[in-house]
Chains A and B, each alone.
Chain A
């Protein structure tokens, strides 16, 4: 408990953009076959530092087979919510779930170079208290830390629907299920919200048997992955509207609402349209009658390719699908970054007009049947995947692994974990930074990145940018 609010809590997105820049990044390291323990890498991102672009500390967990994926903070700018009256939490702990083991680690990063495990929540406790498994997205909100889970109960996570549970933000005790009325929601992936407007949006990937041992081509071609997003009355914990993009829009993943809480719109990335292999971004918004609407505002075409250059999974299609696997929105709600993990491209769209995004910048790196090298001459395994933007919007970081078993299907010949950074131009545009290239220890891959003091996919703001 502090006497003053944590200096990394900001009332508005604009204030967060003006705050001091990040010195460290925290990046997930995962062992794809469970032969090593997973961990969190602390990466020096302070320009001019002697160890710039190097892993300066590692927190390696004692167990194996956790498969780290997404993670988040115990507290963020949402603590300044006028409804709490108590803004004195510290942004100090990273909540790191094992997506495969359902174990959750709470890591104390108060001193990044001495980061250590603070608490471990065993899977049995999670199962018993929530009926959910495979914890994934973390956000700090009203009443505590919210964690979405991809699996329900039972061995394969299909006994009952998956959902969100709430965890105490000080003791890290699991409190229980969030949902009171989930409506049609029967799969889960990401979620985010607008706290003052009191709505939440959640998305769908697939049930554990559809992803744990790799993508199931039959399920994809018969459109059995998630293709809906759900709008919730956040505090009433009620699903108020389910929006089906259409069954061909397979895997509606990342939810990115506008950061400015006066805005009632956001974006959702769709991995693949099974009718034409395109990747797609939908803009969703609330109309004047309070009904949620959506429109496909970005499409990214597949690239034709000779079958012999393709992994067996794609040979029949004679094309490389873009595979939009992550998107991220800058704090000024201006640029949307879209990772095309299949193509090997990172796109930057100007979404000042959210209904008419304009491609403003693009970087090629890695990619199926292309393998574009980094400007420093080194290889980049797989393609651009988890993307994180600095608060000031000037640096964009990303890593390369999607999910252990999926990496192996789409990139059977690749191996390795890398993290890179691109500089954003004054008026848009994206250029890979030659000097920033983190190669992860042998046998480990990398996934989500969190920046010291918050980034563009963690903090929820309660006051508008004025």
Chain B
């Protein structure tokens, strides 16, 4: 498989993970519905979605950025990716074992959507799910640049981190937005509880899978 194809696949993974996060009620689309209904105006919904997007983006970048800086240690590339993969797997296993909901999320004021979105993404390891994909993209980038100056490489990776977080957040917001708008305009509140599935186990397993993929890609794939 050529690097181009792999890169394309990885970017699709970024988009797909965004859609996946977006449909998860735990990432906030019900808040967009409630904001529009509580404020009794349509404009409250795009505003709420935007605030949720800001929080989610910051949570993504909060995870990706430190790793993008670490990629400057090019000789440790494999080790960093292994550690990242293990970290993601560990988070998945933790969520599988600890089925308790993070209680502190309930302490956030209902109007502070960006803060809530940031904390929810952090607590559920949403950024971690993106990490192996991001590192995969970086690794291919590093191969292509060859032995470029560390600074250039880091600069590239920082740009990639922002891009990955942005693309992911846009697709997340689209997915969540479509559900929120559909419920708000056509389907009605009855569908709120009908469309609400318990993704806890699938989510945790997703983390394990993505982490395992990261390990595989680091040790064998690349």
Contacts and interface: CB of A to CB of B under 8 A. Distances in A.
Central interface residue in A11, A12, A198, by most chain B CB within 10 Å = A11
B25 to A, nearest CB: 5
B106 A83 contact: yes
A4 B37 contact: no
B37 A142 contact: no
B34 A463 contact: yes
A463 B107 contact: no
Contacts of B33: 82, 463
A2 B106 contact: no
Interface stretch (B54-62, B133-141, B151-159, B188-196): B188-196
Contacts of B110: 82-83, 195-198
Interface stretch (B8-16, B67-75, B81-89, B97-105): B97-105
Nearest to A464: B37
Contacts of A462: 34
Interface string A74-90: 00000011111111100
The secondary structure that dominates the A interface is: loop
The secondary structure that dominates the B interface is: helix
Nearest to A9: B193
B37 A5 contact: no
Given A83-B105, A83-B106, A170-B100, A4 B196 contact: yes
A286 interface: no
Contacts, number: 97
A464 B28 contact: no
B26 interface: yes
Nearest to A18: B190
Given A143-B103, A466-B37, A3 B198 contact: yes
B37 A86 contact: no
A463 B27 contact: no
Given A143-B107, A463-B33, A464-B38, A85 B120 contact: yes
A447 interface: no
Contacts of B189: 11-12, 15, 463, 466
B17 to A, nearest CB: 17
Central interface residue in A2, A82, A143, by most chain B CB within 10 Å = A82
B147 interface: no
Contact of B38 (A3, A11, A170, A261): A261
A86 B120 CA distance: 11
Contact of B190 (A4, A11, A83): A11
Given A83-B31, A464-B38, A5 B193 contact: yes
B21 to A, nearest CB: 12
B193 A11 contact: yes
Interface in A50-87: 80-87
Contact of A87 (B27, B38, B40, B193): B193
Interface string A93-118: 00000000000000000000000000
A5 B99 CA distance: 16
B30 A82 contact: yes
A235 interface: yes
A450 interface: no
Interface residues of B, number: 35
A235 B107 CA distance: 5
Contacts of A2: 198
A262 interface: yes
Contacts of B107: 142-143, 235
A11 B101 contact: no
A406 B30 CA distance: 47
Nearest to A461: B189
Contacts of A81: 106
Interface in A234-263: 235, 261-262
B103 A87 contact: no
B51 to A, nearest CB: 13
A87 B109 contact: no
Interface in B102-131: 103, 105-111, 116, 120
B197 A3 contact: yes
A154 B26 CA distance: 43
A4 B190 CA distance: 13
A4 B198 contact: yes
A11 to B, nearest CB: 4
A144 interface: yes
Given A10-B193, A15-B190, A87-B196, A196 B34 contact: yes
A291 interface: no
Interface string A205-223: 0000000000000000000
Contacts of B26: 85-86
Interface string A12-27: 1001000000000000
B38 A196 contact: yes
A84 B105 contact: yes
A86 B101 contact: yes
Interface of A: 1-5, 9-12, 15, 80-88, 142-144, 170, 195-198, 235, 261-262, 462-464, 466
Closest 10 CB pairs of A and B: A85-B26, A142-B106, A82-B30, A11-B189, A82-B31, A5-B193, A88-B198, A143-B106, A3-B198, A82-B34
Interface of B: 24-28, 30-31, 33-34, 37-38, 40, 99-101, 103, 105-111, 116, 120, 188-190, 192-194, 196-198, 200
